[in-house]
Chain A
Amino acid sequence: MYKIIKILLVMVLINPVLAQSPKFTISGTVKDKKNGETMIGSIVSIKENADIAVETNEYGFYSLSVDSGSCTLVVQNEGYEKIEHPIMLQKNVTYDVAMEEENLTELENVVMTEEKDDHNVKDAQVGSMKLDVKEISKIPVFLGEKDIIKTLQLTPGVKSGGDGSAGMYVRGGAGDQNLILLDEAPVYNASHLLGFFSTFNSDALKDVTIYKGGMPAQYGGRLSSVLDIKMKEGNNQKYNVSGGLGMISSRLNVEGPIKKDKGSFLIAGRRSYADLFLKLSPTFKDTKLFFYDLNLKANYQINSKNRVYLSGYFGQDKLGISTFGINWGNATGTLRWNSIINSKLFSNTSFILSNYNYKISINNSTGDIDIKSKIRDYNFKQEFSYSPINKHFVRFGVNAIHHTLTPGQITSSNASQVFVQLQERYSWENAAYVSDEWKTSGRLRVNYGLRLVNFSAMGGGNFYTYDNKGKAIDARYYSGDKVVKNYLNLEPRLSASYTLSSTNSFKVGYARNVQNLHLISNSVSTSPTDLWISSSKNVKPEISDQVSIGYFQNFKNNEYEFSAETYYKDMQNQIDYRDGANTTANDKIEGELLFGKGRAYGLEVMLKKKSGRFNGWIGYTLSRTEKQIDGINNNEWYAARQDRTHDISVVGIFDLSKKWSISGAWVYYTGNAVTFPTGKYTVDGTTRYLYTERNGYRMPAYHRLDIGATWYRKKTEKFESSWNFSLYNAYGRQNAYTISFRQNEDNPNVTEAVQTALFRFIPSITYNFKF
């Protein structure tokens, strides 16, 4: 296996030998002039040589090799003025660029005179999408809280779990198969308020990219997607305060320079206040229900070659009814050190802490009982990016994570109550990777890589062996320094584009992903009480192999983007509960699990209008997701819960005038696969239900229209503000949240199916300001 890596490296490194004539390097960092934020994905090219073009990396850094002599450096980024800078090249040059936003005085002037970004056609990456954080504020959302996850769910291949769920299902993957990274730190539970909102405060975000297929090799650990979220760095030019007052929560965002041009900070906070209204109501005065979150970030440029970043996230949810309460929260911290080692080599070192905890408390007369669960990761990452010559961009690195999983530990304030304690589980997840982005001089661009991951379940407790019925037959104690089980996996990754003409291309992708932490969920929607377990003797790593093929076409000078992608995903070692599994405080939970395989395939089509007074998109997904697990449904293939045949979303934003912009979003999708009873019988005088198959029925189709309007108040140099109005579920469709069964009150022999719908006609007003 190491041999393959060696060969890959040699292949990449051999290339410079073929190059001729003296070459020098131009390198530097691209920033936004107004606030000093580094700019990811800006295109840096040489006017005289169309072959030379690179993109800035996630820290805004670029590096180009150019023949000696004079040349013109061109820097472009959509929405910014193009920069051209003549350079006389006789030695390696460092050139930092500050870009200014395009000044659009008249809306009518937004004509397509200049070249628009054709990234989507040319880039080698398949199955990925970048979300414009600025743009999402115009899309109508639930209760006026703009939300990146809810916006992503309006694009093909990314599905929502329905009303009241922040769960995300990508290309048939389960809710836990998404790697959600906030400044490189994994976030385990991305939902607030039982899933009505996601944990990400859009005000604090800079860049959001999702990978649904062909993931680059630097990412690993989850099967179906990578959601890479990067926080803003904070304005290093001047102080800024922005915020919003909404019906359910308010936001405040402060940023400014620590030292002008050298360093900056950002603090963004949110808190909901639904609980304040609840206090007024006599029925709910004991009800607690709120969340808050805080994003913090600071960075400092030590010298022209070194920069450090510190970022943190804190979020907490509290809810409770009198004696019963649930709290949960995530905390992440990332300390990063960027170093430009030389003009071709860039290094990033990260120390990351992720902490996810939830606590259930029950207060009764005999004592307060707390059930606490936790996942804590210590994470170290070292990555190098290397630009040997223009056509290659190499990344390689290592990553080591130590996981501690604490399953429901029960304690009581009453000393006489002694509880059986579940064991903590420890593990190491270590990876090494290398990838190369290769832009051939022809029509082909390839991004290929390898990721080698070793997972070690560590000792420090009893480990059980189970028979095929799930009964523990053997227990063995392992001390903390012993490895209980090792899993070594190699994950090849490939993504390639072949440009047919300047406006269309074909792309292919392949990715193997391995997942060693598994969320075991038995509820319909994701809940904070779902249980995370790690791979062990009995639980093998989940493995997926995905192939995707796509066609991309841009029209009208890149104003319209069209894409069609198909995928087939094969999944091994998928996990489900046995029928009637006992999941509460169960030390032998692994005995309650069944293992099998899964497959998902589909077609995603999207037509997007990117610019102009009217913009938006239409997305359609046709898909199938199935599972086959021995012991369920007579060992036959069956539809996974998140299987959806059709999924349509239409999003439109129209700028009426400089002051008003209106928007609408309509979604339609096939109902989830569910298990309904087919018959009934009586036990002890009570009617109980008879089931014939798992997920054999369908929820009714879901559809909903949301509309919104934004009113921009007069903008001055010092102050700008806007009002946002939205109406969620504008035509009041009663979408099924749950369907349950009961006996008719007048005639208990009649069984009724009762549908509960949550949200209809939910209006909201939000006031946003910035000074």
Chain B
Amino acid sequence: MKLSFKTILLPLAGVFILASCEKVIDIDPRYISSEIMIEGEITDDSIAPTSVKISQSLGLNDSRSFPEVSGAIVVISDESGVSDTLKESKPGLYTSNHIVGRLGATYKLNVIVDNKTYTATSTMPNTKVPLDTITLTNGFSGSKLVTPIFVDPVGLGNFYRLKLQINDKFSEGLFLFDDKVVDGGVNQRPMFDQSTSFEAGDKIRVKMMCINEDVYQYFYTLDEQSQSGSPANPPCNIQGAKLGYFSAHTVSEKEIQITE
């Protein structure tokens, strides 16, 4: 249900007076030093349960690709003292399948880069809500919307993040649901995404993650950036870092193929 007023305002404004016009302009951003960006995840997926990506931020007008950070020491441990040192499987990407996330358990992330230590903890939600199916409904002017069908358990405090993949391409949209508006019951909220369209034969894949409130707030703020009059940086739950998050969450996936 998150649909900003602005996203419909612009097309409407264009509607009644010819078309609005766009042009690329120069902005002179202030200098900013590079920051470490950590994306840490531990899931209940037994095949690829852990992954930690480390990269660096760039100045706005920098046209390099984001530098990966290699040679970091990355350790994920659980409450029982089991710890797992992740291996760098690709530059900047650290993975392992030794520790698999369990419901309600708290995990600790420890990253050392250039003698600097970054730490974070995250607790996996107590209940795993599975994605039952996905359906297609009619959206704006002939477009289609994907609606994830799942049953939200009664009781406040469930947060969901979904990812949409069409064939091999991931949508850039952030799809976030909580149970503040509808607590309990079958989800009927579609995934609004203006950048995607579907054709017959397309494979649509949705990955649903049950995340905790911190991580929800992180992605929510990230999503607000494009719509808010005063965009802000998302709250980082990693000590020592300014950017990034560490999330323990469940995963559940479904795929459909468009027939007509």
Residues in chain A within 8 A of chain B (CB atoms): 164, 193-194, 248, 274, 277-278, 283-284, 286-287, 289, 319, 321-324, 326, 362, 364-367, 369, 410, 414, 416-420, 521-525, 527-529, 576-577, 579-582, 584-587, 641, 675-686, 688-692, 694-697, 700, 734, 736-741, 747, 749-760, 762
Highest count of chain A CB atoms <10 Å: which of B10, B65, B147, B228 = B228
Cβ of B91 within 8 Å of any chain A Cβ, yes or no, is: no
Contacts of B24 in A (CB 8 A): 752-755
Contacts of B181 in A (CB 8 A): 410, 419-420, 584-585
Contacts of A586 in B (CB 8 A): 180
Contacts of B2 in A (CB 8 A): 584
Residues in chain B within 8 A of chain A (CB atoms): 1-6, 8-17, 20-27, 29-30, 32, 35, 37, 39, 55-66, 137-141, 145, 147, 163, 170, 172, 180-183, 185-186, 188, 190, 217, 220-222, 224-235, 243
Cross-chain contact of A690 among B39, B141, B233 (Cβ < 8 A): B233
> Taking A522-B228, A527-B5 as contacts, is the C-beta distance between A420 and B20 under 8 angstroms?
no
Top 7 A-B pairs, shortest CB-CB distance: A580-B221, A579-B232, A681-B57, A753-B27, A527-B5, A679-B32, A524-B229
A274 and B13 alpha carbons, distance in the complex (Å) = 11
A194 lies within 8 A of B9 (CB): yes
Cross-chain contact of B17 among A641, A691, A756, A762 (Cβ < 8 A): A762
A675 and B233 alpha carbons, distance in the complex (Å) = 11
B29 lies within 8 A of A678 (CB): yes
Cross-chain contact of B57 among A274, A690, A736, A762 (Cβ < 8 A): A690
**What's the least CB distance linking A532 to chain B, in Å?**
16
* Closest partner residue, chain A, to B3 (CB atom): A324
B25 lies within 8 A of A689 (CB): no
A689 and B21 alpha carbons, distance in the complex (Å) = 24
A20 and B249 alpha carbons, distance in the complex (Å) = 90
A479 and B58 alpha carbons, distance in the complex (Å) = 55
**What's the least CB distance linking A700 to chain B, in Å?**
7
**What's the least CB distance linking B170 to chain A, in Å?**
7
A324 lies within 8 A of B140 (CB): yes
Cross-chain contact of A364 among B6, B16, B188, B229 (Cβ < 8 A): B188
A580 lies within 8 A of B5 (CB): no
A396 and B137 alpha carbons, distance in the complex (Å) = 61
B172 lies within 8 A of A686 (CB): yes
Contacts of B190 in A (CB 8 A): 364
> Taking A576-B230, A675-B230, A684-B39 as contacts, is the C-beta distance between A321 and B141 under 8 angstroms?
yes
Cross-chain contact of B224 among A274, A277, A527, A580 (Cβ < 8 A): A580
Contacts of A410 in B (CB 8 A): 181
Contacts of B8 in A (CB 8 A): 321, 324
**What's the least CB distance linking A150 to chain B, in Å?**
16
Q: A274-B16, A741-B60, A756-B20 are in contact. List 6 more A-B contacts (CB 8 A).
A: A321-B140, A322-B141, A369-B1, A678-B29, A734-B23, A751-B60
> Taking A194-B13, A580-B232 as contacts, is the C-beta distance between A416 and B63 under 8 angstroms?
no
B65 lies within 8 A of A681 (CB): no
Give 14 CB contacts A-B under 8 Å: A284-B15, A319-B12, A419-B181, A522-B229, A523-B5, A580-B221, A580-B232, A677-B60, A678-B30, A681-B56, A681-B66, A690-B233, A695-B230, A755-B23
* Closest partner residue, chain A, to B218 (CB atom): A580
**What's the least CB distance linking B168 to chain A, in Å?**
12
A686 and B219 alpha carbons, distance in the complex (Å) = 12
A580 and B57 alpha carbons, distance in the complex (Å) = 20
Contacts of B63 in A (CB 8 A): 747, 749-751
A417 lies within 8 A of B182 (CB): yes
A679 lies within 8 A of B20 (CB): no
B60 lies within 8 A of A323 (CB): no
B15 lies within 8 A of A694 (CB): no
A417 lies within 8 A of B185 (CB): yes
A412 and B195 alpha carbons, distance in the complex (Å) = 28
B21 lies within 8 A of A760 (CB): yes
**What's the least CB distance linking A759 to chain B, in Å?**
6
* Closest partner residue, chain A, to B29 (CB atom): A678
A752 and B45 alpha carbons, distance in the complex (Å) = 38
* Closest partner residue, chain A, to B58 (CB atom): A680
**What's the least CB distance linking B109 to chain A, in Å?**
16
Cross-chain contact of B35 among A364, A681, A752 (Cβ < 8 A): A681
A681 and B29 alpha carbons, distance in the complex (Å) = 15
* Closest partner residue, chain A, to B188 (CB atom): A366
A749 lies within 8 A of B188 (CB): no
* Closest partner residue, chain A, to B228 (CB atom): A522
A747 and B61 alpha carbons, distance in the complex (Å) = 13
Contacts of A369 in B (CB 8 A): 1
B232 lies within 8 A of A420 (CB): no
A757 lies within 8 A of B20 (CB): yes
Contacts of A690 in B (CB 8 A): 32, 35, 57, 60, 233, 243
B140 lies within 8 A of A694 (CB): no
B32 lies within 8 A of A678 (CB): yes
